[in-house]
């Protein structure tokens, strides 16, 4: 009898709660989704508040959705992390009891020997504490620091769709970068400025700056920095330095070194132009960049996009740890864009520098035609060239080895199919992949930084210095040459690596001041030696700074 009375007493105590559970409050809770929109969410998948140097990261607004089911389960969707549990009512309070959940934390990969992914992962089991919510007089759910308003399920779906759209995530930085992409495409189509480079890069900038949803520990596998995405897989060719050597293979198979072989003293002009690399290195140090970062920035002075990408992937990759414990900045995108931008602007930048440093009489100097070069010399050149340059700067072997290998394919005469593949299909394919991924790497939140502005300023200065170095080097050589062997100083400007655009600029200026003065073949000598010189310069910097 005593047990029966206890059961009846317990039933009477719990009866009001059962009435509530099956009453209007339960129906109100389960009839739609409860949504809150608030700020404070970091739009960076790898952000870690404990280890990040940025203690005030940019935050955005995100939706938080709470859904109750009639079986007393619930789902809390916060920044696309879903927490589940059971709910019940205690008088007019809604009590949430959370299940344990495994969270996979995404952290930046800082191991240079394990670069297969931009992220490392760490799993953690967490269980959120009990929360007690209540519905206020305005019909809003509150109690955990947020205020939730109820919406029909269809409206909740629309909010979710909106949050993943570009309209919800766009910033003024995205719009600025898209204008840059449009400008690159305009220059390529309207003025024929390096269209094979600027169109892929420009379109890549548009792709990389389509605003997308980002949140801590959340990977959509869409963007160039999100492991597993198509763009990220292709971008590994930039980050790990695969593309530049393949570009050099194609360049070697396309390049005729006859003009350099016939007049090897012009190689000095290619070396003189590399002064832009080392002076820019000093300028970058002065502006506060670390030594590895400054070395990567300095290579812009060689006007060689593939070499700039290669050395920045080694020195300024956002992974290497410096002796002071700091991580170098990831400057691959800004450096690559700056290098290719100034390569495309060769016809704009170089003529004023040439006119400033030369007189009309010097611009009219005619040079002796280059001598004929034998087939044996052409075959021996890549072999001897590899031995000499690789022993000086073995760190640049991937670039120099592929350059001279491609040239041997061309000059041997017995590997025409390989030479044709390297100089056409291969280099065209790699150019497309390189342009698209380098462009896509200019995500606004990564690219638009004070460092990028400094890099573009240093890049412009280094390109001007390199052009001036080549011209002044030619004038210096003329002091030691007889009158009949004088060099037209304008060809010194071709000592930068922008092949063959710098040579075309010199040819155009030569014809402008003397319609019978053809300087193209003469300018190609310092031009191709500039390609070799920039690779050697990169190897020297790597040897000092790695």
**Hunting for tokens 């080392």 — which residue is that?**
278
Q: Name the token pair of 253.
A: 């198979």
> Is 149 within 8 Å of 138 (Cβ atoms)?
no
What are the residue ranges spanned by the domains of the chain? 21-169, 197-209+230-320+328-545
* pLDDT attached to residue 61: 87
Model confidence pLDDT, tens digit, residues 427-478: 999 999 999 999 999 888 888 888 999 999 998 898 899 999 999 999 999 9
* pLDDT attached to residue 74: 94
CA angle 260, 264, 265 (to 5 degrees): 130
3-state secondary structure of 88: strand
Cβ density class 222-233: b for 16+ within 10 Å, e for less: bbbbbbebebbe
* pLDDT attached to residue 7: 53
**Hunting for tokens 């009590």 — which residue is that?**
95
* pLDDT attached to residue 23: 62
Q: Name the token pair of 283.
A: 């300028």
Q: Name the token pair of 476.
A: 């210096």
Distance, CA of 460 to CA of 390 (rounded, Å): 29
Q: Is the peptide bond before 500 cis (omega within 30 degrees of 0)?
A: yes
DSSP 395-455: GGHHHHHHHHHHHHHHHHSS-HHHHHHIIIIIHHHHHHHHHHHHHHT--HHHHSSHHHHHH
Model confidence pLDDT, tens digit, residues 372-420: 899 999 999 999 999 999 999 999 999 999 999 999 999 999 999 999 9
Low-confidence ranges of the chain (pLDDT < 70): 1-23, 51, 53, 109-119
Helix, strand, coil: what percent of the chain each, to 5? 60, 15, 25
* pLDDT attached to residue 131: 93
Q: Name the token pair of 503.
A: 């040579």
Alpha helices in 240-328, H assignment, sequence order: 243-254, 258-262, 267-273, 275-286, 291-298, 305-315
Q: Name the token pair of 88.
A: 């019940």
Distance, CA of 524 to CA of 529 (rounded, Å): 8
Distance, CA of 137 to CA of 154 (rounded, Å): 25
pTM: 0.85
Q: Name the token pair of 351.
A: 């003529």
DSSP 13-59: HHHHHHHHHTSHHHHHHHTSEEEEEEEEEE--TT--TTT-S-SS--E
**Contacts (Cβ under 8 Å, ≥6 apart) of 102:** 123, 124, 125
Measure the CA dihedral 504/506/510/516, to 10°: -40
**Contacts (Cβ under 8 Å, ≥6 apart) of 128:** 83, 98, 101
* pLDDT attached to residue 97: 95
Could you say which DSSP state residue 288 is in? T
Distance, CA of 511 to CA of 519 (rounded, Å): 8
3-state secondary structure of 106: strand
Distance, CA of 288 to CA of 541 (rounded, Å): 18
What backbone phi and psi angles, to 5 degrees, belong to 141?
-95, 130
Residue 123: CB atoms within 10 Å: 8
* pLDDT attached to residue 12: 45
* Nearest in space to 225 (alpha carbons), one of 440, 57, 450: 440
């Amino acid at each position: 009898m005593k047990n029966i009375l206890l059961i009846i007493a317990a039933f009477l105590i719990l009866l009001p709660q059962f009435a509530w559970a099956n009453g209007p409050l339960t129906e109100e809770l389960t009839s739609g989704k409860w949504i809150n929109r608030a700020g404070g969410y970091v739009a960076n998948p790898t952000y870690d508040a404990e280890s990040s140097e940025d203690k005030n990261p940019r935050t955005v607004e995100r939706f938080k959705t709470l859904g109750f089911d009639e079986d007393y389960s619930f789902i809390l969707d916060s920044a696309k992390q879903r927490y589940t549990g059971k709910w019940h009512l205690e008088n007019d309070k809604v009590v949430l009891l959370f299940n344990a959940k495994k969270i996979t934390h995404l952290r930046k990969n800082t191991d240079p020997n394990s670069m297969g992914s931009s992220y490392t992962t760490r799993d953690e089991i967490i269980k959120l504490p009990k929360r007690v919510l209540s519905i206020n007089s305005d019909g809003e759910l509150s109690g955990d620091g947020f205020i939730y308003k109820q919406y029909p399920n269809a409206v909740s779906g629309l909010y979710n769709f909106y949050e993943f759209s570009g309209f919800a995530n766009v910033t003024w930085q995205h719009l600025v970068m898209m204008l840059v992409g449009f400008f690159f495409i305009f220059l390529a189509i309207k003025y024929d400025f390096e269209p094979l480079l600027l169109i892929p890069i420009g379109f890549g900038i548009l792709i990389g700056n389509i605003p997308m949803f980002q949140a801590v520990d959340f990977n959509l596998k869409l963007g160039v920095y999100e492991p597993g995405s198509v763009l990220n897989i292709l971008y590994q060719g930039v980050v790990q330095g695969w593309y530049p050597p393949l570009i050099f293979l194609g360049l070697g198979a396309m390049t005729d070194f006859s003009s350099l072989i016939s007049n090897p003293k012009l190689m000095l002009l290619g070396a003189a132009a590399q002064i832009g690399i080392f002076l820019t290195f000093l300028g970058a140090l002065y502006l506060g960049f670390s030594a590895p970062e400054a070395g990567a920035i300095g290579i812009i002075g060689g006007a060689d996009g593939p070499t700039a990408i290669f050395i920045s992937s080694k020195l300024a990759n956002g992974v290497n740890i410096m002796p002071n414990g700091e991580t170098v900045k990831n400057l691959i995108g800004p450096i690559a864009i700056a290098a290719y931008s100034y390569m495309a602007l060769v016809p704009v930048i170089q003529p004023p520098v040439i006119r400033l440093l030369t007189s009309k009489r010097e611009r009219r100097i005619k040079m002796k035609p280059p001598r004929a070069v034998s087939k044996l010399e052409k075959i021996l050149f890549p072999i001897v060239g590899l031995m000499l340059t690789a022993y000086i700067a073995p760190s640049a072997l991937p670039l120099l080895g592929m350059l001279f290998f491609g040239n041997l394919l061309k000059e041997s005469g017995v590997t025409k199919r390989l030479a044709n593949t390297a100089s056409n299909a291969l280099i065209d394919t790699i150019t497309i992949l390189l342009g698209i991924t380098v462009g896509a790497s200019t995500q606004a939140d990564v690219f638009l930084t004070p460092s990028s502005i400094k890099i573009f300023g240093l890049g412009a200065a280094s390109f001007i210095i390199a052009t001036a170095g080549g011209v002044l080097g030619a004038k210096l050589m003329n002091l030691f040459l007889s009158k009949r062997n004088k060099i037209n100083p304008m060809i010194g400007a071709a000592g930068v690596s922008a092949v063959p655009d710098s040579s075309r600029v010199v040819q155009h200026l030569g014809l402008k001041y003397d319609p019978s003065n053809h300087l193209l073949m003469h300018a190609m000598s310092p031009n191709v030696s500039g390609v070799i010189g920039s690779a050697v310069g990169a190897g020297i910097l790597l040897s000092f700074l790695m």
